[in-house]
Structure 1
Amino acid sequence: MMEVAGPWMEVFEGSEMTEASGGAETLLGSSTLTLAPLVADSPSVRRSLPIRITLNRAKGTESFSSSVPAIPNPFPELCSPSKSPVLISSLPPPATNKHLIKVYGEDSHSRSVWVSRAATAREVCHMLVQTAHCSDQENWALLELHPTLGLERCLEDHEVVLEVQATWSLKGDTRFVFCKNYAKYEFFRKPMLFFPECMISDSADVSKGMTSSELIKNLLKSGTCPEIQGFLQVKESSRKAWKKVYFFLRRSGLYCSTKGSSKEPRHLQYVADLDDLNVYTVVNSRKLYGAPADFTFCIKPFRNPIRTQDLKILCAENEQIRTCWTSAFRLFKYGKQLQCNYQLSKSAPRSLEGTKLPDDKSKSEASLVAMDFSGKAGGRVIENPTEAQSAEREEGQAWRRREALRCSLPNVNSGARPSSIHKTQPWFHGGVSRKETQRLIEKQGLVDGMFLIRESQQHAQCFVLSLCYKLKTKHYLVIPCEDGGRKYFTMDDGLTLFIDLLQLVEFHQINKGILPVCLKHPCVCVAL
């Protein structure tokens, strides 16, 4: 219904008019719109003037809502949310609960990936393995790195990535790094290497006829950890000097003794709650914090952004002591969850291969056995360790004779296998320094058999094989030499010769030679 009164008045349906004293009209409904001329009719030319319409809304009435339909967008495919130049096809569907995170590779290049709100570190690593086309799917980890403070830690497989990112400071340079970590669960495989007897607390129950090694194995299988004790150098944020203090790590928390190594309750001082902290490895601690040694770690509350005043920095005497403390912190905090993560990490690759391996052996170790092919009935497995070592020495001595014979054949093309083939291998790291080499191996896990080859900075045309053994990094010089007019490489003064570095690595993956352990895990840097 529409009523026209006079030349300019329009009353829409739903309006309510009432006459007040003096005949004035008052608008009572918010849906009423009245237009009336401000001046009387005049035969002169009318001109449009701005008109200010004031609506008197009564209390409790609803706001004005137009019934005019919205004009549809004729080109929706050219528009994107928030006027962003990014095409809609590159964004996740609005119905999915996805969030964007940035992950860096070890070459400082980054990749942005969409993850769900509840995505764990294991799931993000699996996604990056598929995206980066990694050759293997095992032993990858997500690292939380704080470059300015020199802190880094490996996220546990079950940790939610977005919850960890929410604790970061907006102004900081914290980042996620995708890298290898072979030692994430190594303490389950070799507990005595990570928990020496001298660091196990006297309060551990060893009175039931169990040795310390059996006690540690039983505790780890149940997802618990023995109590740890020992001296550590400590630095408070308000002090520049370091002080040697005796610490105790128990299920109830971290304590320090105020009187030497006394563990009497009156001498114990409470330091931190394990459920409310994270443990980080400190990089370049001598320069950043004036640490007395390089084996430094720190603990901080995980609910707050990292600040220097919140850090409690501790320094150990050697790598084994530091690894023992950091492993014990993880076990006491997460307990049975780490045992479940370890079982999942073992079951994931086996489901692809369909093989069952012993708990203390990796897939590469179990696939290499000593064999004897001298009999007529075929090969046999050498089970006697002494006989196996003798066969290994004979194989090493025969290697040079076989290669010399092969290279002397007339149909062998000397250029078929160039000497620069090592540059394409993942274990070759070019001219990286000795200090950076140790840092790379420490970050990817101090496990026996981890190795890389680099160019020597002190000897021209020489290379260095860096190998991890018993939580220490050893370096072996690879020297070029000539024999019969051909160029070879050797590590034992010419006793065993190799035509290139690839052959050297392949040989020592099966035979120890002069090395304390076979080459097992290449230290690689993935590019995202």
Structure 2
Amino acid sequence: MMEVAGPWTEVFEGSERTDASGRAETLLGSSTLTLAPLVADPPSVRRSQPILITSNRTKGEESFSSSSVPSIPNPFPELSSPPVLISSLPPQSNDKHLIKVYGEDSHSRSVWVAPRATAREVCHMLVQTAHCSDQENWALLELHPALGLERCLEDHEVVLQVQATWSLKGDTRLVFRKNYAKYEFFRKPTLFFPECMISDSADVSKGMTSSELIQDLLKSGTCPEIQGFLQVKESSRKSWKKVYFFLRRSGLYCSNKGSSKEPRHLQYVADLEDLNVYTVVNGRKLYGAPLDFTFCIKPSRNPVRTQDLRILCADNEQTRTCWTSAFRLFKYGKQLQCNYQLSKSAAKLKPQSREGTRLTDGKSKSEASLVAMDFSGKAGGRVIQNPTEAQSAEREEGQAWRRREALRCSLPNLNSGARPTSIHKSQPWFHGGVSRKEAQRLIEKQGLVDGMFLIRESQQHAQCFVLSLCYKLKTKHYLVIPCEDGGRKYFTMDDGVTLFIDLLQLVEFHQINKGILPVCLKHPCVCVAL
């Protein structure tokens, strides 16, 4: 006889089993398998033969045995613990979720966040864990490396809800990065919304100029209607077509007859409520774009698929920025204005920030408090009101400052090893031997705002450096040339008129004085490491 452990016995042909009277009974049959119960009634359990009760049964096995097999009494009731109700167990904690955030050096950091944590809250958490110097101007970006798409999450967006729209097999990631241009269109609206792109139908109030209209609309949390030509990648084809588009509160439209805006010529393209706008990186290589100023729109609730992308290309950076900013304003409206006000109020509470506290007009407190003074008269100092005279005084002060520094450096007791000429290598704004194109890309990633800068080694001129500076949404490059004067080595950008003993001194000077630059150096382009 062969038995299988459990409440049943497997009995095969030619086997025997013993009945209750102790007789052996041969079971005849062909190839059938018979399951006979071991016991018909609950037997009396002998205390001298303990029965092993396994405690690691699954839920399904317990329900099966309890419904099909008689219960076996516990042989040791005095040793058993009282029953534990499942409802009395503490529930598993689902208050935190683990997300992974990448820095610009491709290293990541895992962070536990609440289910309703916003992008702003996650940024503040990363600022504290990464020991960043300032609290503001940070952003969380959604990056799709394979498709070359990236967008800055709005401060109020819930991070876990954004992640829920991603494909499980994709390479989408969150990136922690500086972004000074997130609300720059509130500070300089006329730069971001040129008059030529504002639709005539938006000017409902007569007698109001374009700049006044933009200011009024932005204060109310909306945006003027935008119009203009964009190049569109045709579906299932590699060619691009130039189409006239209109962006309104009701959605995105295109004209099928030139630039006509008559209703019978307008074709509905997309609803702004269900769209996200992305900047396209390396659009020429990935999508065959005619220019580098590419962006795309896609449904926000679906995973990213190539067939869902609508790739658009503008003629210049200002046009692309205008379209992407208008998309954000039309979609979120008053919420963006609230985010901006919250960002300003938070910045005012942190005057010790290295970048300085931001004011309404985009200037720092230290910069706004500087005025041109004239102390040449006998009656004391006076404030210079004439702008031309103020610029002349600024140049004279810069040259006088340079002469004082040159005199200080020529003193015999100067410790020449205190500030070596290679001190710039330890500064966050120095980026080594990056190319001109990569320097422009670094500045674009952190925001095309006036005063964003970095210094790099020149690839065309030996022992020279290049100052890359953003001004009016464009990156300008200034050659820094080494020269000698009185047996000492200096650096200059204006053919020797103003000399600097090292690059650090050059940066410190131009953070206060414009010199030959169109704007003072304000925001160093730094790489974030988590």
Any idea what the Cα deviations from partners look like across 1:353-373, whole Å, max 9, x if unmatched? 998944443345324433445
Distance 1:237 1:459 in 2: 45
* Bigger shift: residues 511-520 or 11-20: 11-20
How far apart, in 2, do the equivalents of 1:40 and 1:78 lie? 28
How much does 1:33 deviate?
25
Q: CA deviation at 1:62?
A: 9.9
| CA distance, structure 2, for counterparts of residue 160 and residue 16 of structure 1 | 70
Query: Cα distance, 1:4 vs. partner?
Result: 26
**Partner secondary structure for residue 78 of structure 2:** helix
Change (3 A) 1:439 1:476: same
**Unaligned stretches of 5+ residues in structure 1:** none
Which deviates the most, 245-254 or 391-400?
391-400
Measured at CA, do residues 473 and 31 of structure 1 come closer, stay the same or move farther in structure 2, by a change above 3 Å?
farther
Contact kept? 1:18, 1:26, Cα under 8 Å: no
Moved more, 311-320 or 426-435: 426-435
**CA contact 1:4–1:11 (8 Å) conserved in 2:** no
Matching residue of 1:358:
360
Counterpart CA distance in 1 for 2:404 and 2:260 is 64
Asked if 2 retains the 8 angstrom alpha-carbon contact of 1:17 and 1:28, the reply is: no
| Preserved contact between residue 481 and residue 490 of structure 1 (Cα < 8 Å) | yes
1:236, CA displacement in angstroms? 2.9
CA shift at 1:435, angstroms? 1.0
Partner residue in 1 for 2:55 = 55
Q: Following the alignment from structure 1 to structure 2, what is the Cα–Cα distance between the partners of residues 396 and 185?
A: 33
- SS of match in other structure, 1:28: coil
For the 8 Å contact 2:344–2:359, the answer to whether it is kept is no
Q: How far is the alpha carbon of 1:239 from its aligned partner?
A: 1.4
Residues 264-289 of structure 1 show CA distances to partners (whole Å, capped at 9, x for unaligned) of 11111110000001000001111111
- The structural deviation recorded for 1:228 is 0.3
Query: By how many angstroms is 1:74 displaced?
Result: 24
Measured after TM superposition, the shift of residue 204 of structure 1 is 1.5
Matching of residues 280-429 of structure 1 within 5 Å: 280-347=278-345, 357-374=359-376, 381-429=383-431
* Higher mean displacement: 307-316 or 91-100: 91-100
Identity %: 91
CA contact 1:11–1:32 (8 Å) conserved in 2 = no
* CA contact 1:12–1:33 (8 Å) conserved in 2: yes
- C-alpha displacement at 1:523, in angstroms? 0.8
8 Å contact 2:45–2:75 — kept in the other structure? no
The 1:88/1:454 distance shift into structure 2, 3 A limit, reads: farther
After TM superposition, the structure 1 stretch with the greater mean CA deviation from structure 2, 26-35 or 292-301, is 26-35
Q: Deviations over 1:113-160 (max 9, x none)?
A: 111110001001101111111111121111111111111111100001
Contact 1:350/1:356, CA 8 A, preserved across alignment? no
Give the Cα separation in 2 of the matches to 1:79 and 1:509: 78
CA–CA distance in structure 2, aligned partners of residues 523 and 90 of structure 1: 55
Match of 2:28 in 1: 28
Aligned equivalents of 1:304, 1:362: Cα separation in 2: 41
CA offsets 1:388-411 (integer angstroms, 9 cap, x no match) = 212101112213211210111111
Judging changes above 3 Å, is the alpha-carbon distance between structure 1 residues 364 and 141 closer, same or farther for their aligned structure 2 residues?
farther
| Residues 26 and 419 of structure 1: CA distance in aligned 2, closer, same or farther (over 3 Å) | farther
Q: In structure 1, how many angstroms separate the alpha carbons of the residues matched to 2:136 and 2:77? A: 44
Alignment deviations for residues 242-264 of structure 1 (CA, whole Å, 9 cap, x no partner): 00000000000000000000111
Contact 2:180 2:449 in 1 (8 A): yes
**2: CA distance between counterparts of 1:507 and 1:90?**
69
8 Å CA contact 1:465, 1:477 repeated in 2: yes
Supply the distance in 1 between the matched residues of 2:334 and 2:5 (Cα, whole angstroms).
84
What's the CA shift for 1:186? 0.6
- The 3-state SS of whatever aligns with 1:76 is coil
SS in 2 for 1:21: coil
Distance 1:27 1:119, change over 3 A: farther
Pick closer, same or farther for the CA change 1:498–1:103 going to 2, 3 Å: same
8 Å CA contact 1:30, 1:63 repeated in 2: no
Paired positions, count: 524
Kindly tell me: are residues 454 and 3 of structure 1, through their superposed partners in 2, closer, same or farther at Cα, counting changes over 3 Å? Answer: closer
In the TM superposition, what whole-angstrom CA distance separates every residue of 1:326-349 from its partner, at most 9, and x where no partner exists? 0000000000000000000100x6
CA drift at 1:238: 1.0
Does the 8 A contact of 2:7 with 2:69 survive in 1?
no
User: Structure 2 vs 1, CA of residues 488 and 8 (structure 1 numbering), >3 Å: closer, same or farther?
Assistant: closer
Partner of residue 348, structure 2? none
* Residue of 90, 93, 96 corresponding to 2:91: 93
Distance 1:4 1:262, change over 3 A: closer
* Bigger shift: residues 390-399 or 219-228: 390-399
CA 40–418 in structure 1, closer or farther in 2 if over 3 Å, else same:
closer
| Separation in 1, partners of 2:168, 2:46 | 61
Is the alpha carbon distance of 1:54 and 1:474 closer, same or farther for their aligned partners in structure 2, counting shifts above 3 Å? closer
Normalised TM-score (structure 2):
0.82
Shift of 1:510: 0.8
What SS does structure 2 have at the residue aligned with 1:230? strand
Instruction: Judge conservation of contact 1:120–1:159 (CA < 8 Å) in 2.
Output: yes
Shift of 1:489: 0.6
Q: CA deviation at 1:292?
A: 0.6
CA contact (8 A) 1:427 1:452 kept: yes
Q: Which stretch shows the higher mean deviation, 183-192 or 430-439?
A: 430-439
Distance 1:33 1:513, change over 3 A: same
The residue matched to 2:109 in structure 1 has which SS?
strand
1:499 matched residue in structure 2: 501
What are the ranges of 5 or more consecutive residues in structure 2 without an aligned counterpart?
A: 346-350
Q: Secondary structure at the match of 2:401?
A: helix
Q: Structure 1 residues 104, 212: CA separation in 2 closer, same or farther (over 3 Å shift)?
A: same
Counterpart of 1:488 in 2: which secondary structure? Answer: strand
Assess if the C-alpha contact under 8 Å between 2:458 and 2:464 holds in 1: yes
In structure 2, how many angstroms separate the alpha carbons of the residues matched to 1:306 and 1:407? 59
Q: Could you say if the C-alpha distance between residues 124 and 91 of structure 1 is closer, same or farther in structure 2, counting changes exceeding 3 Å?
A: farther
- Whether the 8 Å CA contact 1:319–1:471 is kept in 2: the answer is yes
Q: 2: distance between equivalents of 1:56 and 1:526?
A: 50
Per-residue Cα deviation, 1:392-436 (whole angstroms, up to 9, x for no partner): 011122132112101111110111101111111111111111111
Over 3 Å counting, the alpha-carbon distance change for 1:5 and 1:118 in structure 2 is closer
CA separation of 1:405 and 1:264: change in aligned 2, threshold 3 A? same
250 and 407 in structure 1: CA distance in 2 versus 1, 3 angstrom threshold: same
Distance (Å, rounded) in 1 between the aligned partners of 2:108 and 2:407: 48
Q: 1:473: how far off?
A: 0.3
Mapped contact 1:194–1:324 kept (Cα < 8 A): yes
RMSD: 9.0
Give the whole-Å Cα distance in 2 for the aligned partners of 1:109 and 1:80: 50
Mean Cα displacement is larger for which, 55-64 or 70-79? 70-79
Q: Secondary structure at the match of 2:513?
A: coil
Change (3 A) 1:395 1:60: closer
Change (3 A) 1:320 1:88: farther
Aligned CA distance change for structure 1 residues 382 and 48 (closer, same or farther; 3 Å): same
Q: Taking structure 1 as reference, are residues 296 and 13 closer, same or farther at Cα in structure 2, changes over 3 Å only? A: same
Cα distance in 2 for residues equivalent to 1:23 and 1:237:
85
Report the equivalent of 2:443: 441
3-state SS of paired residue (1:62)? helix
2-side partners of 1:89 and 1:59: how far apart?
A: 15
> Could you report, residue by residue, the CA deviation over 1:24-66 in whole angstroms, capped at 9, with x for unpaired residues?
9999999999999979999999999999999999999994769
